[in-house]
Amino acid sequence: MPALTVAEIADLCGAQVEGHREHLITGADTLENATPKDLSFIANAKAMQAASASHAGCLLVTSAFDQKGTWSLVRVENPRSAFATALAALYRKPKPAASIHPTAIIAPSASIASDCFVGAYVTVGERAKIGASCSIGNGCVIGDDVIVAEGTTLYANVTLYDGVRVGARVILHSGCVLGADGFGFTLIHDRYEKFPQVGAVEIGDDVEIGANSCVDRAALGLTRIGDGTKIDNLVHVGHNCVLGRHVAVAAQTGFSGSVVVGDYAVIGGQAGIGEKVRIEARAIVGGKSGILPSHKIPAGEPVWGIPARPLRQHLKGLAHVAKLTEMRDEIRSLREKVAILEESQRKARPEA
């Protein structure tokens, strides 16, 4: 694992050092667990309170941090972001040496750049093209006419069906499947007949897709994932969906067919998105939300609940639900009082 001096960490972050410039940092950890050889960061008031007890060798902090300690300080605008930059340097993954394992099956018409790594039991179909500096893990299946651009990493057992196009510097984690048929069937008389799925899948540059996630091919046209989008594990993207640039999707979310998601939208875990939904740019869909088919979520709007509605309405509804028991008791008490009043009035009436 690489080791960096505090000065080198500061250079990575474009910042200045306060303390021991040449102190060597070999790892990173939380404030509570960090040792003098570790880097940590302070991003909020709670962490600032815990800083005095930390044994970290170096802290990434903002200009507001005013405590004194044994640590060296690197002052940055965004400590969390700077910490991510430093982590990438401290825990740099070694690039596998260029090679093609003897058990790999490569079609004669396939093209693989000379500096690629191709692992054991990989299959690469006819006319497939794999660009420079790609890493193809053990057991991957790459179909006919697939294009994988430069710098992309496929971990073990990724499957790319025929015709899938993957951009540059993409990361596909184990078990990821791109290009399987969309869920298209037509009920003819008393049985379902398959609607042929003849479209394709296109993945933009710098996309990351988590383990065991699936992106279905379009029935016609394209299912498309935009540049920089990050998709967690166990996510399903249905046929003809279009996810914009830099969308973030948490685990176990499902997109029905023909959903459109705008740039920089955020989708919480276990959300269910109905068919033909439109989620506009920078909208936020809370975890476990359900969006009914053909609905539109306005740009920048945070929504939550089932069915999903603006967050303020959702929270107001939760507050009302929390008061139901109290309201039930009040109604019961009022009914008893009304019954007593009615009984007293009945007794007070003169008999005819």
Query: What are the catalytic residues?
Result: 239
Phi, psi of 106 (to 5 degrees): -115, 125
β-sheet with 214-216: strand ranges across = 105-106, 123-124, 141-142, 159-160, 177-180, 214-216, 236-237, 254-255, 272-273, 290-291
User: Letter for the amino acid at 106?
Assistant: I
* Gap between the Cα atoms of 269 and 289, Å rounded: 9
Give the H/E segment covering residue 214.
strand 214-216
Sign of CA dihedral 102, 103, 107, 113: negative
CA separation for the pair 265, 282 (Å, rounded): 4
The residue among 232, 200, 233 whose CA lies nearest residue 217 is 200
- In DSSP terms, which residues pair with 334 in a beta bridge? none
Helix segments in the chain, DSSP class H: 6-13, 45-50, 79-90, 311-322, 324-348
In the chain, the amino acid numbered 210 is G
Pairing of strands 208-209, 111-112: unpaired
- The whole-angstrom separation of Cα 94 and Cα 98 is 12
CA atoms within 13 A on the CB side of 152: 26
The answer for residues whose C-beta is within 8 angstroms of residue 272's C-beta and 6 or more apart is 253, 254, 289, 290, 291
Q: How far is CA 205 from the centre of its chain?
A: 16
